[in-house]
Structures are given as C-alpha cells and as structure tokens.
Structure 1
Amino acid sequence: MTELGARVASIAAEAGRLAMSRWRTDFKRWEKVPGSPVCEVDLEVDSFLRDQLMALAPDAGWLSEETVDSAERLGRERVWVVDPIDGTRDYIRGRTGWAVAVALVERGYPVIGVLDAPARNEHWVAEMGLGARRNGAKIAAARREVLAGARVPADQLPRVDSDLVAVTKPNSIALRIAMVAAGEADLVASLRWGNEWDIAAAILIARESGAAVSDALGEPLSFNSPDAEAFGVLASVPGIHRAAVERLRERALTAIER
C-alpha cells in the first residue's frame, strides 16, 4: 500500500473500534425519515472520521451520509466519500452486517477504498492499480460464464430469478459488493436510486478484485455528482455481467419511471 492508503486504512480501523465499543449497548436511535434509521454512534463515528481524514488531506472535499452536504465539494479534485456505519439497521439490531466505509475519490473515481467490519473480523482495503485485500490477503472475484446458478446475497429471490442461488445477506450493501470481490457471491444488484457513500469504497474493492461494476443499466459509475446519487449498482463476476444487465434492464427502466 501507499503511505496514504495505509493511513486511511488505519483511520477506518480506529473508527471501526469506536463503533464496536458501542455495539450492543444502550444508545439513542431514531429515523431520519420513515425506513431510514440512524443512531448517535453514526454521528460519533462521522465526527471522528471527518476530523481525522480532513487533517490527512485538507484539500479534499467531504461527502458523508451523516453530514449536511455542501456544493463546495464539487469544486474539489479529491473528495472523501464516507458512510460512518453502512448497514445501520444491522448495527442497531445487534447483527454483524455493518461496516465503516471510507473512499477517497479523485476526479470522479475512487482511488482508495476501505471497509472495516469489526463485528465480522474483516478489514477490506483497495487502492487503484494495487489490488484488493481482506485482512491482508489478496482477494479475487470468482469465475463464472453462466448466469443461472449465480450466488446472490438475498433474503429471498423473486420467482423470475429462481434459477439463481440466495446466500447470506448482510444489511450493508458495501459488504454485499465485497462478497463478490472475495469470491463469496457472484452478483449484487440494486434497482433504485442510491447514495454514493453506500458504494464508493466497495466499488473500488470490487474493481481491484477483477469484478465488473456498473450502474443498474450497465453504464459506468462515477462519483462526486451534484445529487450524490447513482441509479442502482450491479457488481458481478465478469463473465455474467452482460447477461445480468440484460435480464434486469426492463425492471430497471420501470423503476426509473416510477
């Protein structure tokens, strides 16, 4: 790793320890809007990350789920894109499917991505051009050429996708994408508008593992957009990516029109 990458990984791990120290304890929690939980630990971890990361790269902008957004970031070449606890629902419920997610985005593309998931004893790191690792070991996406039989992190698959295989699904979409990077799943797809902070770090981890990534319609993903949103995400082993886009296209187009 580069010196900067190592420092970002260390800060994310420290943030993970902070979150872990409060996990399964009594803390305040509420809903920002119906169906969108948040807790006081989200805010504590967000504050810690902002202090540490902005000190590390003061020239960078800031985009985080738990910080009021500012258009000032749009004029910056580099931007920190952060979700202090991705998978807050699992965190609040005492489940393990959550992670601290940190990405450094440069000119629209993640160049450093870190997921720290201490409840799962997992620390994921990727740098552009340097590969992806989990707990220090290099990871690689699986090989598959046929969509049928592909492993998908899901609680339940729709009947139309009954030829796919459901595997354990963490609440954190970043961790689901990381499962593709590690060869533990073959396909992750979201067919709705989502926030950049949910996926920026994991997208780099997937790319550096050899996985294919795009939005829900198969178009390239870029980050630090004015709305900080992307229409879905599709991460898969390379051999089935085109087939997955084709299968999901009509559903994706219908979702956009709603």
Structure 2
Amino acid sequence: MPEPGLASRVAAIAAEAGRLAMARWETEFRRWEKVPGSPVCDVDLEVDALLRQRLGALLPDAGWLSEETADDRARLSARRVWVVDPIDGTRDYLRHRPGWAVSVALVDDGAPVIGVLDAPARSECWTAEAGKGAWRGDARLHVAARDRLAGARVPADQLPKVDSDLVMVAKPNSIALRIAMVAAGEADLLATIRWGNEWDVAAAVLIAREAGAAITDALGRPLAFNTPSGQAFGVLASAPGIHAAAVERLADRARDVLKA
C-alpha cells in the first residue's frame, strides 16, 4: 500500500501540471504529429518535464513510463513505476475543447495503487487509492447498477449498426475521462478493441475499479501494467452486471483484430 499522505501529494503535483497546461492553453505553441494521426505539442513536453521532476523527487526509486519520454527499460526492474500521460486527449486540447486531463498513476508490482486525473478545463480532479475508494473532488464515486446490456450508455461519436441498442453519450477525447465516466455512473460501458498504451488508462483503471466497475482487456482478461511493451489489447470498463455480456458481444470483433 502507498505511504500515508502520498496520494494527496501526487494529486497536488498533478494539479500543478494542470495549471501549467491551462496557462499555456491560451498561448501560441508549436504542434506537430509524432506519427500520422498522433498529435503532440510543446505543452505536452513541458508538462511531462514538470511531472518527471516533481514525481521523481517524490519517489526517487520509482521507474518512469510516459507518452512523451523515450522508454527506459530499467523501469522493468523497478517495483514501483510512474505511468503518466501529461495531456491525455491532446486533440481536444489543440481544438480548445475541455475533454483532456493530466493522467498520473503509481503502479506497484504491476497494479495501479494511486490514480489521479486532473482536468482543469472541466474544473475536475479525480483521485483513487487502492482499497480506499474513488473520488471526484469531495464526492465519492459509484458505478451505475445496470444489469442489461441493451440501453447501456457509451461515450461515443457513433456506434456500429450491431450496437444500435446502446445509447451514445457525450465523448471527451481523453480515454481516461471516458473510463472515469463509468466510475461516476455517467456511462455504463467503455470499450476499445485495439492495442493501446498503459499511460492512457492506468490512472483511470484504478479510479473505475475503486468505484466498483469491472475492468479487463478487450477479451475479458486481467490488465497488467509496467509490461515490457507498455501496451494492452483494448480496455473494457463497465458496470459489473453487464461486463460478461459486453465481453461476449465484443469477443469475435476483438479476435478478428488480433488476426489482422
């Protein structure tokens, strides 16, 4: 378990990073694509540097895995690792939409034990500590009590015809915030069926889990963190009562992706 008071210190560092991102949001900054379809900007790098300095001082023995830092495989031998996305939802940040957040997780022996999403454009701070629940500000989070997949609320811009029995709700660009919506009972299901990065979801997975959500990969398998690849095949976060049905519905599609 994390040391007493560590989670609040992590939240304060994430809030400092959020303030930096907000201060730069109204200014001119350089932007480009790391690879086609993967935008990045100067602010991502500035926030990443701040987080690495502050979190590194907090736990000097911890490893580091971040979207905006070259991967150092030495993290694989560390018991504790910071898993960070300095701005999750960069597209919304660049479009001046509020659906982005600073995402910070502390992973201990492959599992997140502290998770923070600081979303200053939404005036929100989401926090969780293993075994101590999940919170948005001072409000404790609880997943929705849903037991039928039909009618489940999904953060999405569009849904395939086969999923027309589901209900779309507003979708922030940040996948971490979409998972957090499940934690808050504002959505019932979030699913991806593609390879994704640990830094996108580590903090949000703990927040959802501590709120009572069921969390697996796209095939219903447990998620692990600080893996050699730093990736997982999809994420499925849902109300517990519909998780098995969601896995069953997505299984063939997920296997087709893996075969491709």
1:222 aligns with 2:224: yes
Opposite residue 29 of structure 1, the aligned amino acid is R
Opposite residue 36 of structure 2, the aligned amino acid is P
Per the alignment, residue 38 of structure 1 pairs with 40
**Displacement of 1:224 after TM fit?**
0.2
Opposite residue 22 of structure 1, the aligned amino acid is R
Percent identity, aligned pairs only, is: 72
Q: Are 1:30 and 1:38, in contact at CA under 8 Å, matched by a contact in 2?
A: yes
CA distances 1:124-178 after superposition (whole Å, capped 9, x unpaired): 0000000000012111000000000000000011100000000000000000000
Instruction: Choose the corresponding residue for 2:21, options 19, 22, 29.
Output: 19
Partner SS, residue 242 of structure 1: helix
Instruction: Choose the corresponding residue for 2:119, options 117, 120, 123.
Output: 117
Instruction: Choose the corresponding residue for 2:209, options 202, 207, 210.
Output: 207
Per the alignment, residue 197 of structure 1 pairs with 199
Per the alignment, residue 96 of structure 2 pairs with 94
Partner SS, residue 205 of structure 2: helix
Instruction: Choose the corresponding residue for 2:49, options 41, 47, 50.
Output: 47
1:61 aligns with 2:63: yes
Partner SS, residue 105 of structure 1: strand
Per the alignment, residue 82 of structure 1 pairs with 84
Instruction: Choose the corresponding residue for 2:255, options 238, 253, 256.
Output: 253
**Displacement of 1:26 after TM fit?**
1.4
**Displacement of 1:74 after TM fit?**
0.2
Instruction: Choose the corresponding residue for 1:156, options 154, 158, 164.
Output: 158
Task: Supply the distance in 1 between the matched residues of 2:236 and 2:147 (Cα, whole angstroms).
Answer: 16
Per the alignment, residue 234 of structure 2 pairs with 232
TM-score w.r.t. the length of structure 2 is 0.98
Opposite residue 17 of structure 1, the aligned amino acid is R
5+ unaligned residues in a row in structure 2: which ranges? Answer: none
Opposite residue 167 of structure 1, the aligned amino acid is V
TM-score w.r.t. the length of structure 1 is 0.99
Matches within 5 A, 1:160-199: 160-199=162-201
Task: Supply the distance in 2 between the matched residues of 1:230 and 1:149 (Cα, whole angstroms).
Answer: 27
Instruction: Choose the corresponding residue for 1:107, options 93, 106, 109.
Output: 109
Between 16-25 and 173-182, the greater mean CA deviation after superposition:
16-25
Task: Supply the distance in 2 between the matched residues of 1:143 and 1:81 (Cα, whole angstroms).
Answer: 30
CA distances 1:50-76 after superposition (whole Å, capped 9, x unpaired): 000010000100000000001100000
Per the alignment, residue 148 of structure 2 pairs with 146
Per the alignment, residue 6 of structure 1 pairs with 8
Task: Supply the distance in 2 between the matched residues of 1:245 and 1:24 (Cα, whole angstroms).
Answer: 42
Q: Are 1:87 and 1:171, in contact at CA under 8 Å, matched by a contact in 2?
A: yes
1:73 aligns with 2:75: yes
Q: Are 1:24 and 1:92, in contact at CA under 8 Å, matched by a contact in 2?
A: no
Q: Which runs of 4+ in 1 moved over 6 A?
A: none
5+ unaligned residues in a row in structure 1: which ranges? Answer: none
Aligned positions, number = 258
CA distances 1:71-108 after superposition (whole Å, capped 9, x unpaired): 10000000000000000000001001000000000000
**Displacement of 1:48 after TM fit?**
0.0
**Displacement of 1:25 after TM fit?**
2.4
Task: Supply the distance in 2 between the matched residues of 1:13 and 1:125 (Cα, whole angstroms).
Answer: 11
Partner SS, residue 116 of structure 1: strand
RMSD: 0.8
Task: Supply the distance in 1 between the matched residues of 2:175 and 2:258 (Cα, whole angstroms).
Answer: 20
